[in-house]
Structure 1
Amino acid sequence: MTTTYKKGFTKDEIYQNVYPLWAYAHLIFSIPIVLFTDYLNFKPILLIESISLIATGFLLTFGNSLFSIQMTQITYGCATSSEIAFMSYLYTKVYDNEIAFVTGIIRGVILLSKCLCTSIGQLGISLKWFDLTVLNETTLVMSILSLPFVLFAIFPRICFKKDKKKNVNLNNDIGERESLKIYDKINEKKKRVQTLNFIERIKYVKDNLSDPILLIVWSSWWTITSALIYQMYNYIQVHWTPLQLESIHVYNGSVEFINTLLGACVTLSFSRLKINWKKYTGLITIFSTILFSFLFVALAETTNIYISYILYIIINVTYLFLIAIASSILASIVDVNGIGIVFGVVSLTTSLLQSLLGFILINGNIWALNTKQQFSINSLIFLLSSIIFIIISCFNVIINNKKKGEIKEENSTNINIINGRKSKVILQHSESVFKELI
Structure 2
Amino acid sequence: TCWCSSAFGCPKPRLLGWVYPTLLLCVYGFFSCMRPSEPFLAPYLTGPEHNLTIEQVCLSSPTYSYLAILLPVFLLTDYLRYKPVIIIQGLSYIITWVLLLFARGVPAMQGTEFAYGMVTATEIAYYSYIYSVVDTEHYQKVTSYCRSITLVGYTIAATLGQILVSLANVSYFYLNVITLVSVSVAFLSSLFLPMPNKSMFFHKKVVGGVAQASSTDPISSNQEEIQPEVTNKAELDNKDHRNILKVLWLLCKDLTVCYSSKKLIYWSLWWALATAGYYQVINYVQVLWEHVAPAQNSDIYNGGVEADNHFLGALVSFLVGYVKINWDLTGELALGIFSAVDAGSLFLMNYTSNIWVCYAGYLIFKSSYMLLITIATFQIAINLSMERYALIFGVNTFVALILQTILTVIVVDQKGLGLDIVTQFTIYGSYFAVIAGIFFVRSLYILISLRCKAPAKTADSESSIQTKL
Show the counterpart of 2:52: 10
Distance verdict in 2 for CA 1:269–1:230, change over 3 Å: same
Matched AA of 1:251? Y
Greater CA drift, 303-312 or 239-248: 239-248
Matching residue of 2:279: 230
2:403 counterpart (332, 353, 363): 353
Counterpart secondary structure, 1:8:
coil
Q: Which residue of 1 aligns with 2:99?
A: 59
Structure number with the higher helix fraction is 1
1:45 to 77, 85, 99: 85
Which amino acid is 1:111 matched to?
Answer: L
Q: What's the CA shift string for 1:177-233, capped at 9, x where partnerless?
A: xxxxxxxxx983245858545443131133367x71222112211122122122221
1:370 is aligned, of 420, 425, 430, to: 420
Task: Give ranges in structure 2 of 5+ residues lacking alignment.
Answer: 1-41, 198-211, 220-225, 227-243
1:113 aligns with 2:153: yes
User: Which residue in 2 is equivalent to 1:189?
Assistant: 215
Equivalent position to 2:262, from 206, 210, 213: 213
Counterpart code for 1:393? S
Where does residue 435 of structure 2 map in the other structure? 385
In structure 2, distance between residues paired with 1:407 and 1:85 = 49
Alignment partners' CA distance in 1, 2:402 and 2:143: 25
Query: For structure 1, which segment, 273-282 or 370-379, has the greater mean C-alpha deviation from structure 2 after superposition?
Result: 273-282
Q: In structure 1, what is the Cα distance between the partners aligned to 2:162 and 2:261? A: 45
Structure 2 distance, partners of 1:116, 1:311, is 22
Measured in 2, the distance between the counterparts of 1:354 and 1:234 equals 11
CA distance in structure 1 between the aligned counterparts of 2:417 and 2:278, rounded to whole angstroms: 20
In the other structure, the counterpart of 2:124 is: 84
Match of 1:241 among 290, 301, 311: 290
Deviation at 1:138, TM superposition (A): 2.1
Within 2, Cα distance between the matches of 1:37 and 1:121? 33
Name 1:327's counterpart in structure 2.
377
Is 1:262 aligned to residue 312 of structure 2? yes
Q: Is the 8 A contact 1:27 1:355 kept in 2?
A: yes
Alignment partner of 2:195 out of 121, 140, 155: 155
**Equivalent in 366, 371, 378 of residue 316 of structure 1:** 366
The alpha carbon displacement at 1:244 in A equals: 1.7
Distance 1:45 1:269, change over 3 A: farther
Q: Following the alignment from structure 2 to structure 1, what is the Cα–Cα distance between the partners of residues 383 and 131?
A: 12
CA contact (8 A) 1:227 1:351 kept: yes
Which residues of 2 match residues 91-170 of structure 1 at below 5 A? 106-128=146-168, 130-155=170-195
Partner of 1:342: 392
Q: Is the 8 A contact 2:280 2:404 kept in 1?
A: yes
What is the CA-CA distance between 1:401 and the residue it aligns to? 8.0
Q: 1:183 — aligned with what? A: none
Q: Name whichever of 286-295 and 193-202 sits farther off.
A: 193-202
Work out which of the residue numbers 34, 52, 62 in structure 2 matches 1:22.
Answer: 62
C-alpha deviation, 1:315, in angstroms: 0.8
Q: Which moved more, 1:85-94 or 1:385-394?
A: 85-94
Q: Which TM-score applies when normalising by structure 2? A: 0.70
Query: Which SS does the other structure have where 2:180 is aligned?
Result: helix
Q: 1:296 to 1:415 in 2, by over 3 A?
A: same
Amino acid corresponding to residue 212 of structure 1 in structure 2: S
What's the offset of the Cα at 1:61?
Answer: 2.7
> How far has the Cα of 1:336 moved from its partner?
2.4
Is the CA contact (8 Å cut-off) linking 2:162 and 2:302 kept in structure 1? no
- CA distance in 1 between counterparts of 2:447 and 2:430 reads 26
Quote the offset at 1:412 in angstroms: 11
What's the CA shift string for 1:268-304, capped at 9, x where partnerless? 4445666665554212211111111211122221122
Identical amino acids, percent of aligned pairs: 28
In structure 2, C-alpha distance between the alignment counterparts of 1:289 and 1:187, rounded to whole Å:
40
1:303 partner SS: coil
